[in-house]
């Protein structure tokens, strides 16, 4: 099974800082259409999102679940659906209690992708990740998942950092996207058009 992993904030919905209430969750234009294209392509659509606001005590896991239900409702109206959600509630320095953890699921670590591989039988090297930050691209690259950077959310700055040859700590140059797209819809269209990883008939 192949997947297109999707970052959430800044990729599917507008980047607004922490989504700690339902009314802060607004879809980026044509995101629902893009997810329907994934559904029709035979890829699984899997959300992988860092939600350190939980660990920081800004909102709880029930809010994350409610936001994801709202997303599914919005998508359903346009004939689209997310197949699975994975989120990381931890933070290595700001987490409270059990959420204070230098975990392997917080992107740029690839733990959520590895969980999807195990739980949903995803073939990572035949899969893609779309996100608005180089952390998303790195999480994919570390386990053989090709990355596409979108210019929504933090993507404009991230693309400039990448194309400007940034040399800051974290070494973004090691992990390059295979494509930079204006938004999720363009990214999915590009993947479907340029997919060289077709499964044999």
**Active-site residue numbers?**
7, 9
Gap between the Cα atoms of 195 and 126, Å rounded? 9
10-18, 33-41, 82-90, 165-173 -> range binding Zn ion (CB under 5 A): 82-90
Structure token digits, residue 199: 């499964």
Q: Could you report how far apart the first and last alpha carbons of the chain are, in Å?
A: 14
Distance CA 48, CA 111 (A): 10
- Quick one: what does residue 9 bind among Zn ion, Mg ion, none, with the CB cut-off 5 to 8 Å set by partner type? Mg ion
Omega before residue 23 within 30° of 0, cis:
no
Residue from 2, 106, 107, 142 that binds Zn ion (CB under 5 A)?
Answer: 106
Which of 27, 35, 88, 188 binds Zn ion (CB under 5 A)? It is 88
Helix (H, G, I), strand (E, B) or coil at 69: helix
The three-state secondary structure class of 143 is: coil
Q: Does 10 bind Mg ion (CB under 5 A)?
A: yes
Structure tokens at 70: 């709202």
- 28 vs 54, which CB is nearer to Zn ion? 54
CB of residue 116 vs Zn ion: minimum separation in angstroms?
A: 14
| Residues contributing to the site for Zn ion (CB under 5 A) | 88, 90, 103, 105-106
| Residues contributing to the site for Mg ion (CB under 5 A) | 7, 9-10, 132, 153
């Amino acid at each position: 099974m192949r997947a297109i992993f999707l970052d959430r904030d800044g990729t599917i919905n507008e980047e607004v800082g922490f989504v700690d209430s339902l009314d802060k969750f607004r879809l980026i234009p044509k995101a629902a259409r893009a997810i329907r294209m994934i559904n029709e392509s035979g890829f699984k659509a899997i959300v992988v999102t860092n939600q350190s606001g939980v660990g920081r005590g800004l909102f709880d896991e029930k809010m994350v679940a409610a936001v994801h239900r709202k997303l599914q409702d919005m998508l359903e109206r346009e004939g689209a659906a997310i197949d699975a959600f994975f989120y990381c509630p931890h933070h290595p320095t700001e987490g409270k209690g059990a959420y204070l953890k230098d975990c392997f699921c917080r992107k740029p670590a690839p733990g959520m992708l590895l969980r999807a591989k195990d739980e949903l039988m995803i073939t990572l090297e035949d899969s893609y990740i779309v996100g608005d930050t180089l952390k998303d691209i790195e999480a994919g690259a570390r386990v053989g998942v090709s990355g596409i950077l979108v210019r929504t959310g933090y993507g404009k700055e991230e693309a400039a950092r990448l194309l400007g040859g940034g040399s800051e700590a974290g070494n973004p140059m090691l992990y390059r996207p295979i494509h930079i797209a204006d938004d999720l819809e363009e990214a999915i269209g590009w993947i479907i058009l340029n997919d060289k990883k077709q499964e044999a008939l």
